[in-house]
């Protein structure tokens, strides 16, 4: 067998729709697209045998039950579990980790230790933090080196009080892969070893028995399956000792008013009605992946990942950006370009005034989908000394043309309009500086012939918004905005006045526009201002769309709320 990227992409209906003909989808670490077979399997369940499982006596229920247990067997084969009874269906990786944290920690003693890393997704941090606080446990962390956990120091991090080690199989923020083959030997046989494989299952075949893992988990939407369903593998002896997490139907064998008897694993961990259509879709997803030449697919993605990193490194030599890299420790050295699951992260160079959210919006205008933020890995961002990053993540349906389109769009960003520097932000200004926008006209925006020209006009306006470091307090921060925005309001002689500060050039320009529309007006005058209509007339209505992820509507709502 071999891997044919073009034939692979043809199986995903989203890319066949006319509105997506030019789409470059590079947000796969958040969620992958679904092949037609997954969609068909979910429709087939609802249209042919939609019914609850196990306890009903009719034909449809028997079919649904048979489907669930068949998929359980497929999942067991997918990770090479010893049997289907070692597979639990969850709503996703987050629920699986909460289940493990609640169940495993209940039997620990105060002072026992849980070993994690600073590179974990929040889902593999917060549940353990909650359990540690509840049971007086201690959290320890593998130290970082070169932006990745120093895996060679893992054995020294394990103490006689270490009971649980829970680590990501690959960073969702930087993409580096954990050396799974050496984990069991590094931590010893006396600890419970948990692996969050959410970012790795789409790219590589994992064998839980060969790796000596006690628990492995992942979310189906990260490896071409449906949302709302995940799988949790647990070694049989570990599952037998794990107490139930949630109570309700299906996880019991007998209930009285005073007590209950629980079902054997895995059913005792599946309380209530499962996402049955999603399980059907998961089964089709597993069959779809097993039908690929996984080794050839992995080689293709590895080559594409190296091409992505090479092209972005060249871009960073010409633009004020830096490519965040982290290399896996392997045989005494870090190996550049290897052991990455197809993720690249960009951050601004020190002193660069561009906000990553602005680049994300610019790419969206070019129909290129990426993700901007901390990616639910904020402690890693703090360790690296960066704020929001622009994350690019690959899948099997991506190709070099996608990478070329990304690099070209980033290179075409109006960098000449980026004038803010780190020194600007640190300037001391009066708490309420006078800002004069009287020379600006809405027609300046209205007369621009394209979105690129309107964008440039907004970034020129952005330079008129003075930096206001004194505003940057938590009490002034507007919730819901992708880039941090701070705003204060006062009413002077019946007129509502606002100050706004943000690092995003797009939001700075839009803030100037809002101040033109809303600042220094009476309540009666504000009531007559139709912001939505004005933005539509200017061709900027998308910034007020509910689906737009920059949270600009939150800023508008915040200003209106202060005035009212």
Residues carrying an active site annotation: 376
Q: State the chain's maximal CA–CA distance in angstroms.
A: 78
Backbone angles phi, psi at 138, to 5 degrees: -115, 130
What phi, psi does 468 have (nearest 5°)?
A: -135, 75
Using an 8 Å Cβ cutoff, are 125 and 196 in contact?
A: no
Q: Which helix (H) or strand (E) holds 105?
A: helix 93-105
DSSP state of 264: P
Tokens of 451: 């979105």
Tokens representing residue 501 in the block: 């500060």
**Residue 255, SS3?**
strand
Residue 158 CA, chain-centre distance (Å), reads: 29
Q: What is the DSSP letter of 57?
A: -
Angle at 115 between CA 110 and CA 119, to 5 degrees: 140
Phi and psi angles of residue 439, each rounded to the nearest 5 degrees, phi first: -80, -5
- Give me 32's structure tokens: 């992958």
Residue (of 470, 475, 474, 467) closest to 502 by Cα position: 467
CA atoms within 13 A on the CB side of 111: 3
Instruction: Give me 47's structure tokens.
Output: 């249209």
- Asked, as a colleague might, if the bond just before 299 is cis with ω within 30 of 0, I would say no
Structure tokens that stand for 408 in this block = 């070209």
Cα 30 to chain centroid distance, Å, stands at: 4
User: Locate tokens 């929040």: which residue?
Assistant: 122
3-class secondary-structure state, position 333: strand
Q: Which of 132, 134, 190, 183 is nearest to 161 (CA)?
A: 190
539 Ramachandran zone, left/alpha/beta (phi>0; psi -120 to 50) = left
Burial 264-291 (b: 16+ CB within 10 A, else e): ebbbbbbbeebbbbbbbbbbbbbebbee
- Distance from C-alpha of 244 to C-alpha of 410, rounded to nearest angstrom: 50
DSSP strand E in 384-494: where?
389-393, 485-492
CA nearest neighbour of 79 among 278, 193, 217: 217
Are 312 and 323 contacting, i.e. CB atoms less than 8 angstroms apart? yes
DSSP E strands in 134-198: the ranges are 138-142, 144-145, 148-149, 162-168, 192-196
């Amino acid at each position: 067998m071999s891997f044919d990227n073009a034939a692979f992409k043809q199986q995903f209906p989203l890319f066949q729709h006319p509105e997506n003909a030019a789409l470059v989808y590079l947000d796969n670490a958040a969620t992958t697209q679904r092949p037609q077979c997954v969609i068909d399997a979910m429709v087939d369940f609802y249209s042919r045998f939609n019914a609850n499982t196990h306890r009903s006596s009719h034909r449809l229920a028997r079919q649904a039950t048979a489907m669930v247990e068949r998929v359980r067997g497929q999942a067991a084969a997918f990770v090479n579990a010893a049997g289907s009874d070692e597979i639990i269906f969850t709503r996703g990786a987050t629920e699986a980790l909460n289940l493990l944290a609640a169940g495993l920690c209940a039997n620990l003693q105060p002072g026992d230790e849980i070993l994690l890393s600073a590179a974990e997704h929040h889902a593999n941090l917060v549940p353990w933090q909650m359990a540690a606080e509840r049971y007086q446990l201690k959290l320890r962390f593998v130290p970082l080196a070169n932006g990745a956990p120093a895996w060679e120091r893992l054995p020294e991090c394990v103490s006689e009080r270490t009971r649980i080690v829970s680590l990501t199989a690959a960073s969702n923020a930087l993409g580096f892969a954990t050396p799974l083959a050496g984990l069991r030997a590094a931590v010893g046989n006396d600890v419970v070893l948990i692996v969050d494989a959410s970012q790795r299952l789409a790219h590589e075949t994992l064998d839980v028995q060969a790796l000596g893992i006690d628990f492995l988990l992942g979310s189906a939407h990260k490896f071409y399956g449906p949302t709302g369903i995940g799988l949790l593998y647990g070694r049989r002896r570990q599952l037998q000792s794990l107490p139930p997490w949630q109570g309700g139907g299906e996880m019991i064998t007998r209930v009285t008013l005073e007590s209950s008897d629980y079902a054997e694993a895995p059913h005792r961990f599946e309380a209530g009605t499962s996402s049955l259509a999603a399980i059907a879709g998961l089964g089709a997803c597993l069959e779809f992946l097993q039908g690929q030449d996984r080794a050839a697919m992995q080689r293709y993605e590895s080559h594409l990942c190296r091409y992505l990193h090479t092209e972005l490194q060249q871009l960073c030599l010409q633009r004020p950006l830096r490519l965040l890299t982290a290399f896996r420790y392997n045989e005494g050295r870090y190996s550049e370009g290897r052991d990455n699951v197809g993720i690249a992260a960009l951050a601004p160079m020190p002193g660069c005034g561009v906000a990553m959210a602005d680049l994300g919006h610019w790419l969206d205008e070019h129909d290129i989908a990426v993700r901007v933020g901390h990616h639910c890995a904020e402690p890693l961002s703090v360790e690296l000394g960066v704020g929001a990053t622009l994350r690019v993540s690959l899948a099997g349906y991506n190709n070099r043309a996608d990478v070329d389109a990304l690099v070209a769009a980033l290179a075409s960003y109006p960098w000449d309009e980026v004038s803010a520097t780190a020194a600007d932000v640190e300037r001391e200004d009066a708490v309420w500086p006078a800002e004069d926008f009287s020379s600006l006209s809405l027609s300046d925006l209205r007369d621009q012939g394209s979105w690129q020209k309107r964008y440039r006009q907004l970034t020129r306006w952005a330079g008129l918004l003075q930096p206001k470091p004194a505003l940057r307090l938590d009490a002034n921060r507007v919730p819901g905005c992708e880039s941090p925005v701070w705003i204060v309001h006062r009413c002077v002689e019946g007129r509502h006045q606002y100050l706004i500060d943000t690092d995003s050039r797009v939001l700075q320009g839009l803030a100037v526009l809002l101040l033109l529309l809303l600042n220094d007006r009476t309540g009666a005058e504000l009531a007559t201002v139709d912001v939505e209509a004005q933005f539509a007339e200017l061709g900027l209505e998308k910034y007020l769309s509910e689906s737009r992820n920059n949270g600009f509507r939150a800023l508008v709502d915040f200003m209106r709320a202060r005035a009212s």
